[in-house]
Amino acid sequence: MRRLFAPFLFFCAVSALAEGPAVSLSALVDAAWQRDPQARGLDARRAELAALADVAAGWTPAPGSVGLSNRSDRLLDDRGRLEWELEYAQPVWLPGQAGARRDEAAAALRSLDAERVALRLGLARSLADARRAWVLARGVQGLAERRLVIARQQADDLTRQVKAGEAPRFDANLAESERLIAAAALAEQGLAVAEAGRRFQLLAGSPPPAELLPSAAPVPDEHPGLTATREAAALARARLASTRNSVRDNPEVGLRFRHERDTYGAPFGDSVTVRLTIPLASAPRTAAREAGAIAAVTETAVAFERTRSQLELDRAQAADQLAVAVQIEEGALARQRLTNDNLHLALKAWQLGERPLEALLRARAAAFDADTAILRARSTREQAEAWRDYLKGVGE
């Protein structure tokens, strides 16, 4: 049976060693950023928005166009009529359109930056939660290892005593059963540790660190998630203003140079034409575009108010969760003191022959359960503190 559990114990030992060196949470977030599809998409969008900002900052809304045309009567009368025409046309801004486009581009960049900060905060929370789950699993694994060592030692001692005729075989069977239970629990916990480590590695691309370096991140004036929704609302308003300043296509100014003759032998004549094209507005198209922009403004304004209300509700709930977590941890500490005292009494009573081995095993199992409860209560309290800090905007 010991050979059966040997591979599991080896797996547990390997998983215990598969941990990274101490790093800062900011470094982990940087690594996770490169692996997150949404984060990489934001990086690509930033390059796009920067290019659009350069376009909005230009003197013209679009590049000009060059046209070349030729007209002759060679295929019909063939009297020598010939005409060459060269034209350059340049779109120009509508009144107020350039400023509105620049404001929209600046608002889009601010919104993207706010979204990046909010996403980094979310990644930091996910990494911290994943590492906390791994630390808890490692702590429970350590207790399971200690339980197996004690159970194995007691089983070996009772086996020798049974052979010497100093202990009943019933007690040896109980001790061996306890050892098997402890070995199975350790193997199961080893799998839990490995799974928690893989979850972390999926986010960060590296094993969970044994220690996180402390960071002194300042508390922002506003939660990044709320800032992101605020900037999204500002962007929607900027797009509405840009839409209202673009009720028609851009006018176009053209300069045309013509070189022509009427018949063979006639001298060529030159002329210059200045052209101004003003597209007409379409009321249905303008109304549809403005209605879409107004809908976006309304949607982002509602999202901002909802995010602010949700933050207030979450902060109140986080305070309650932390208070309860502290009470649970205090209760777990008190329970640990009681179970340790009972274990000491049960061990002494069993050594004196006053209580059976079964009572000692129950007391020992209760003590291990209390130790596990301490780890879980501490992890719950740390999670509540992390959630409180996250709602304040502190992540790294």
For residue 22, the model assigns a pLDDT of 79
Segments in the chain forming alpha helices (H):
2-17, 25-35, 37-56, 97-163, 169-204, 224-244, 283-351, 357-392
Residue 224 near residue 118 (C-beta atoms within 8 A)? yes
For residue 13, the model assigns a pLDDT of 42
Tally of domains in the chain: 1
pLDDT digits (tens, 9 = 90+) for 38-86: 999 999 999 889 988 888 888 889 889 999 999 888 888 888 888 999 9
Give me 380's structure tokens.
């719950």
| 108: nearest Cα among 241, 254, 245 | 241
Do β-strands 212-213 and 23-24 pair in parallel, antiparallel, or remain unpaired? parallel
- Average pLDDT of span 364-376: 96
pLDDT digits (tens, 9 = 90+) for 160-193: 999 988 889 999 999 999 999 999 999 999 999 9
Handedness of CA 216, 219, 225, 228 (dihedral sign): negative
- The yes-or-no verdict on residue 396 having pLDDT over 90 is no
| 253: nearest Cα among 92, 127, 372, 27 | 92
For residue 7, the model assigns a pLDDT of 37
- The yes-or-no verdict on residue 202 having pLDDT over 80 is yes
pLDDT digits (tens, 9 = 90+) for 279-323: 888 888 889 999 999 999 999 999 999 999 999 999 999 999 999
| 66: nearest Cα among 97, 99, 47, 88 | 88
Q: Which domain holds residue 55?
A: 2-392
The more confident residue out of 78 and 250 is 250
For residue 284, the model assigns a pLDDT of 87
User: What whole-number distance in Å separates Cα of residue 222 and Cα of residue 387?
Assistant: 16
Measured CA angle at 371 (ends 370, 374), to 5 deg:
90
pLDDT band at 338 (very low <50, low <70, confident <90, very high): very high
Coil, helix or strand at residue 8: helix
User: What whole-number distance in Å separates Cα of residue 139 and Cα of residue 157?
Assistant: 27
Give me 197's structure tokens.
């480590």
Q: What is the CATH number of the domain that holds 318?
A: 1.20.1600.10
User: What whole-number distance in Å separates Cα of residue 149 and Cα of residue 371?
Assistant: 16
| 343: nearest Cα among 359, 331, 327, 330 | 359
pTM listed for this prediction: 0.83
pLDDT band at 265 (very low <50, low <70, confident <90, very high): confident
For residue 300, the model assigns a pLDDT of 96
- The yes-or-no verdict on residue 91 having pLDDT over 70 is yes
Placement of tokens 């799998």 in the chain? 191
pLDDT digits (tens, 9 = 90+) for 108-136: 999 999 999 999 999 999 999 999 999 99
For residue 19, the model assigns a pLDDT of 56
Cβ-based neighbours of 244, under 8 Å, separated by 6 or more: 100, 290, 293
pLDDT digits (tens, 9 = 90+) for 142-156: 999 999 999 999 999
pLDDT digits (tens, 9 = 90+) for 8-38: 443 444 444 345 577 889 999 999 999 999 9
For residue 20, the model assigns a pLDDT of 59
Angle between helices 97-163 and 224-244 (to 10 degrees): 160
Mean pLDDT, the chain, whole residue set: 90
- Average pLDDT of span 386-391: 93
